[in-house]
Structure 1
């Protein structure tokens, strides 16, 4: 029973790393993203393959090109084996692109999977190797909106309402 409980706690901790990663990317909170990886981790996003410092620089260069990003995590399969684990996180990511002259805003929509290796070091689970697999993608023109502008309170930094005390 104790082993089963520890496995559930480990799985929950690993799933939370993925959720923190998504929040970090969407809020462009690079220290939060960094906290999801061990310092010697490798990230393979296809276009970028390398260490965490380079990955954060890659994100700093690319993410501001979007009006917003939203990552939804769905199915999460986690297999724990002592102080190592394998996980596959399914996700759908939306990337809003500003309108270009004569055209509408666009949503770049990606169905993706994060295939990860985790290690527990010093009692903390973090990613040691991440491979991002794109299953499908599409581009949706934003032809119409229904939320009033004053309700769009999302911010891509620590001024976002999610960082304010409850």
Structure 2
């Protein structure tokens, strides 16, 4: 997604983002310390001892599903179903998750554009798609790398996204990657912070 305007100073974005992210991760990590009633801190796993190697495989599989959950939610919005996409985002993210974005031309060492909460991000996506005039979108993810450390972890995912302007005529294609901070909650793994890094955003038209 492209974003042509940003409100507020970039320095303010950075300070606010650091505070929101730290609070979001701390809150969800504390919540993960105690399992839901009758459940397990990993979400959906049986009580009792689980071999460490097996637990890691289970964790990584559940975390990887989050990036596909996000893509499905975004493309649901891309097809015009805002509420369907919003509902799906709520399954991918913690309630107080932060979404950050660096667009082509942004200083990668500077503060990103920030949105707080999956519901607000759904509105941003819908506005971006409507403003650009997209009729549908397709987000493809790959090269997923996951690192789990107890109840927190990181995930990096390559991105290729196609935004359809006119079927069989013109599209806009984005390339980049996502950097995620994930946390274990009583309801399973969730994304606490997702940072989008867009390297290119190109318009392609048929001859």
TM-score normalized by the length of structure 2: 0.62
Aligned to 1:121: 185
Which sits farther off after the overlay, 43-52 or 76-85? 43-52
2:57 is aligned with 1:5: no
Question: Which structure has the highest strand share of the two?
Answer: 1
Q: Which consecutive aligned stretches of 4+ in structure 1 deviate over 4 angstroms post-superposition?
A: none
2:119 is aligned with 1:63: no
Which sits farther off after the overlay, 38-47 or 13-22? 38-47
Structure 1 portions without partners, runs of 5+? 144-166
Higher relative contact order (CA 8 A, sep 6+): 2
Q: Distance in 2 between matches of 1:116 and 1:39?
A: 15
Work out whether residues 34 and 56 of structure 1, in 8 Å CA contact, stay in contact via their aligned partners in 2.
Answer: no
Alpha-carbon distance, 1:111 to partner: 1.1
Q: Distance in 2 between matches of 1:11 and 1:93?
A: 24
Structure 2 portions without partners, runs of 5+? 1-49, 78-84, 104-112
> What are the within-5 Å matches in structure 2 for residues 1-166 of structure 1?
2-28=51-77, 29-46=85-102, 48-52=113-117, 53-64=119-130, 65-98=133-166, 105-143=169-207
Task: Give the number of equivalent residue pairs.
Answer: 139
Q: Distance in 1 between matches of 2:125 and 2:197?
A: 17
Question: Which structure has the highest helix share of the two?
Answer: 2
TM-score normalized by the length of structure 1: 0.77
Q: Distance in 2 between matches of 1:50 and 1:95?
A: 21
Q: Distance in 1 between matches of 2:126 and 2:175?
A: 22
